[in-house]
Amino acid sequence: MDYLTLLQILDSALRLATPLLFACLAGLFSERAGIFDIGLEGKMLMAAFFSAATAYSTGSVWLGLLAGIAGSMVLSGIHGLASITFRGNQLISGVAINFLASGLTVLIGLSWFKLGGQTPSLSGDARFQGIDLPFAEAAMSVPLIGPLYAEVLSGHTLLVYVALLCVPATWYILYRTRFGLRLRAVGENPAAVDTAGISVVGLRYAAVAICGVLCGLAGAYLATGLGASFVKEMTAGRGYIALAALIFAKWRPWYALSATLLFGLLEAVSNRYPSLDLGFITLPSQFMQALPYILTVVILAGFVGKATPPRAGGQPYVKER
């Protein structure tokens, strides 16, 4: 593999890791507050549809982004209502959201566009365009590091850089602010938080709302940044992969970046090499396409060692009287 090919793979890995990173951070906020959310997939799918549909109808990618976030927030509100207010089973609520999004996006797409559940292709101002970072062209003359900056880091859409900035922002919010301290405490011991006079319900709804915004960004990026339209089931299990990455990262923001980049790299390699000849064996295309999902299964099987979730995760809080 030459250096140019490596740069192209890394560039693709960063693009493919972006929706995973948004979704992983979304799950991190939610689960740190004690709300398990299997519905990341559904929120991303709903956001992808409404962002593409709105961007096509209005010609504005920004209105599409807002519509995508709104669609995701509606599902987050439903999940919050079911799991926080009515103290329902959080896993069942998340699965129901995935089914709801899968059916609604196709149904509404058929009604609006008559294209088999898809949206028309996006172009121009209806899509996010690549951004060239400062001095990218000049950096090409610098050996090794220059092409890495110009070819891998530069040229991505705005949401890629927003996703990368969300990592230190998430770390700061969770570990350096009063809100973050309380949010983490709610996921560990909500009774103690309640005793201190802080609203457990309010904090959990705030976490669910942040989760909705981040899933909205992930879905909007899929349809208007990485792709150029909405396609049926276009999330392709990314919500579940993000959950696996969250476990791999042990609910920590910086580890989440590493985990999602690893998944993105595997997907980039599988896209670059439909079948890979290792000399002593040739890996078939089916194996290469399944590589990211195989890693997901390995991680969920506990290969990464002990990963302890928040102690109050998945447990509805009942206020003591």
Exposure b/e, 139-158, CB count within 10 A at least 16 = b: beeeeeebbbbbbbbbbbbe
**pLDDT by residue (tens digit) across 117-153?**
899 999 999 999 999 998 888 888 888 888 888 889 9
Count each helix (H run) and each strand (E run) in the chain, helices first: 13, 2
- Tell me the CA distances in angstroms from 13 to 52, 156, 228, 271, one per residue in order: 23, 12, 18, 10
Tell me the C-alpha distance between 42 and 127, whole Å.
Answer: 22
Helix (H) or strand (E) holding 42: helix 40-58
DSSP letter for each residue of 60-102: -HHHHHHHHHHHHHHHHHHHHIIIIIS---HHHHHHHHHHHHH
Mean predicted lDDT score pLDDT of the chain: 90
pLDDT above 90: residue 157: yes
Confidence of residue 1 (pLDDT cuts 50, 70, 90): low
- Tell me the CA distances in angstroms from 311 to 25, 33, 84, 127, 257, one per residue in order: 19, 10, 16, 42, 23
Helix (H) or strand (E) holding 211: helix 200-221
Report residue 124 as tokens.
């121009």
Phi-psi bin for 237: left (phi > 0), alpha (psi -120 to 50), beta?
left
Tell me the C-alpha distance between 279 and 289, whole Å.
Answer: 19
Q: What pLDDT shows up at residue 229?
A: 94
Q: What's the one-letter identity of residue 308?
A: T
Count the residues in the chain: 321
Report residue 148 as tokens.
């890495």
Which one, of 31, 8, 61, 57, lies nearest residue 217 by Cα? Answer: 61
Report residue 255 as tokens.
């580890």
- Tell me the CA distances in angstroms from 317 to 40, 85, 190, 198, 321, one per residue in order: 22, 9, 7, 13, 12
On whether the CB atoms of residues 288 and 275 are closer than 8 A, the answer is yes
**pLDDT by residue (tens digit) across 35-85?**
999 999 999 999 999 999 999 999 999 999 999 999 999 999 999 999 999
What does pTM read for this prediction?
A: 0.94
Which one is predicted more confidently, 307 or 95? Answer: 95
DSSP state of 125: G
Q: What's the one-letter identity of residue 289?
A: Q
Handedness of CA 115, 119, 125, 127 (dihedral sign): negative
Handedness of CA 93, 95, 96, 98 (dihedral sign): positive
What count of Cα atoms within 13 Å lies in the side-chain half-sphere of residue 22?
Answer: 30
Per-residue pLDDT, averaged over 211-236, amounts to 95
What the chain holds in terms of domains, given with CATH numbers, is: 3-300 (1.10.3470)
Which one is predicted more confidently, 320 or 270? Answer: 270
Beta bridge partners of 283: 276
Report residue 194 as tokens.
């309640």
